[in-house]
Structure 1
Amino acid sequence: MRIARYHTAHGPTRLGRVDNETVTDISEVVGGTSLRALLPLLPSLRDQILAADGVRHPLADVVLEAPIDNPQKFLGIGMNYREHAEEAAQAGIPVPTSQMWFNKQVSCIVGPYDNIVKPSISDQLDYEVELGVVIGRRCRNVPVEDARSVIAGYLVANDVSVRDWLAARSPTFTLGKSFDTHGPIGPWLTTDDEIEDPLALTMRLTVNGEVRQDFPTSDMIYDVYEQIAYLTQVFTLMPGDILATGTPAGIGAPTGRFLKPGDVIRAEIDGLGALENRVIAEG
């Protein structure tokens, strides 16, 4: 099942079930328009959502919004793909010996087709296609073998990064990862039951049609279950929390091929859909 937040021209935000090229309104069935609030109820409402026969719209006629616009946490893991860690090491960046997590401030979140703003204070704007994991229920101290049970579903994320603000301008990654508009996610939430194996998906990212990243999620150093187990030793994960699970090799930093206004970035993952965002100048 795929669930989206969307609006029609001049209309309010609604929740919808995405089927092929249509979206069916389920807002009345689930009693609201917050996907984050719906997640804990999703198992009990599944049959009603699948049977919902609300107003239908062609996908082409609606504006898709960020599936989760207000998570408590938006967390990312650094250098979690083997070849990406190797290219980072070649650029002189130390490879961590354990999971390295950082915050993306939730104010950076935008929708799957919204613009990405290139900040005027940097010329080192970079892209990172990532598998986003959305937590479905409150959880703490989750064993690796039980971690999949707390996942509501998956989405595509682009962990947009301002490279010179990752280290040179801040002792942590948070500032360089959290500029406004630098967290496109979507295009919808694909529930966990739709994906046979989240560790066997292919991720691709193109810039103006040129392939920059094309790797399977199996190249992760720490898989999504190990990530959940690691984090929940420290704090409680809540429904709607988003984990950006790492990016593969091919980012712009090693070659200096940074993003510029006018560039169009398409980030896609098999079975989950695609984001397509244009870079615009700040101002």
Structure 2
Amino acid sequence: MKLLRFGPKGQEKPGLLDADGKIRDLSGVVDDIAGDTLTDAGLAKLRAIDPASLPAVAGEPRIGPCVGHVGKFVCIGLNYADHAAESNLPVPTEPVIFGKWTSAICGPNDDVEIPRDSRKTDWEVELGVVIGRHAKYVDEASALDYVAGYCVINDVSEREWQLEHGTQWDKGKGFDTFGPLGPWLVTKDEIADAQKLDLWLEIDGHRYQNGNTRTMVFNVAQLVSYLSKTMSLQPGDVISTGTPPGVGMGVKPNPVYLKAGQTIRLGIQGLGEQQQKTVAAK
């Protein structure tokens, strides 16, 4: 299934994308694409519904973030060896963990704000993993059983705040609009192998990132297991699993960063595409 949330900011309704690409309204069935809806039982309930029996949504509504009421937005740094190299940092021997504030979450096609006085706002296409079961001390062999599905994430990053204002990466990762999620949450049964997905990103039509999840240092199962040993994970928590090479910071000889008035397009095989305009933060 492809699950989504549509409507004005803060008033999103749950929806389902049918086989013809039409949005169907799920608000008569569930309150939101969040929490218990993402458990095995919640998803089984949705799979039992004939999409044609649901109201069709007219027009082209705004698509909101594909998960509502996210409890934790956990990110993994330097999870592609070639990205670590372009960042002039060693390949990690254990996952590098940082957080994005949930206030950074926005829709996949919402504007991305360039923070005031920012000179180094950057892009990162990433595979998002949405948790579907309470996970604590999970072994790697069963870790994927705790995944509800996958989505596209743009881990927008302000590098000066991330790297030049102390040691906490979180400061450069959590600005408003720095976490576009979606367009869809694609349930894991539709993805044969999350470690064989192409992912890409363009700025104003120029392709900067081309990668594949097979080159992750730590795969999805390893990440879910590792994180579950450092924190409990709940349904609706989101993990952003790292970016392949091609970020603006790594462009040689001169890094390239975002400025207001640009268009970002990105996507992952089987998970859809995002498109954002960059605007100056007010």
Please indicate, yes or no, whether the TM-score normalized by the shorter chain is above 0.5.
yes
8 A Cα contact 2:64 2:183, kept in partner = yes
| Equivalent runs, 1:1-283 vs 2, <5 Å | 1-7=1-7, 12-19=11-18, 20-30=20-30, 32-40=31-39, 41-51=41-51, 53-57=53-57, 61-89=60-88, 93-255=89-251, 256-283=255-282
- AA partner of residue 239 (structure 1): P
Q: Percent identity?
A: 37
Judge conservation of contact 1:266–1:275 (CA < 8 Å) in 2. yes
Cα deviations across residues 32-89 of structure 1 (Å, max 9, x unaligned)?
134334112424303333456121125x521110011321110111100021112122
Call closer, same or farther: CA 1:280–1:54 in 2, change over 3 Å.
Answer: same
Q: Count how many residue pairs are aligned between Structure 1 and Structure 2.
A: 277
Deviations 1:183-229 (A, max 9, x none): 01100100000000000000010001110001110010000100011
1:258, CA displacement in angstroms?
Answer: 0.3
Kindly provide the CA deviation profile for residues 127-151 of structure 1, in whole angstroms up to 9, marking residues without a partner as x: 0000000000111111111011000
Tell me, in whole angstroms, the C-alpha distance in 1 between the residues paired with 2:50 and 2:124: 33
TM-score for both structures, normalised by structure 2: 0.93
Per-residue CA deviation, residues 113-132 of structure 1 (Å, 9 max, x unaligned), is 10000011321000000000
What TM-score results when the alignment is normalised by the length of structure 1?
Answer: 0.93
Residue aligned with 1:253, SS: helix
Distance in structure 2 (CA, Å) of the matches to 1:229 and 1:220: 15
Whether the 8 Å CA contact 1:207–1:263 is kept in 2: the answer is yes
- CA displacement at 1:267 relative to structure 2: 1.2
Unpaired runs of 5+ residues, structure 2, are none
Q: 2:70–2:237: 8 Å Cα contact kept in structure 1?
A: yes
CA contact 1:69–1:109 (8 Å) conserved in 2: no
Paired residues of 1:29 and 1:48 also in contact (CA < 8 A): no
Q: Is 1:133–1:151's contact at 8 Å kept on the other side of the alignment?
A: yes
The 2-side partners of 1:5 and 1:129 are apart by 21
Secondary structure of residue in 2 paired with 1:218: helix
Query: Could you tell me whether the CA contact under 8 Å between 2:70 and 2:102 is conserved in 1?
Result: yes
- The answer to whether the 8 A contact 2:201-2:207 is kept is yes
Distance 1:127 1:149, change over 3 A: same
Return 5+ residue gaps in structure 1 as ranges. Answer: none
Report the secondary structure of 1:27's partner residue. Answer: coil
Residue type of the alignment partner of 2:165:
R
Alpha-carbon RMSD across the aligned residues, in angstroms, is: 1.7
- Judged with a 3 Å threshold, the aligned counterparts in structure 2 of structure 1 residues 11 and 126 are, in CA distance, closer, same or farther, namely closer
CA distance in 2, matches of 1:26, 1:275: 22
Q: Distance in 1 between matches of 2:105 and 2:10?
A: 21
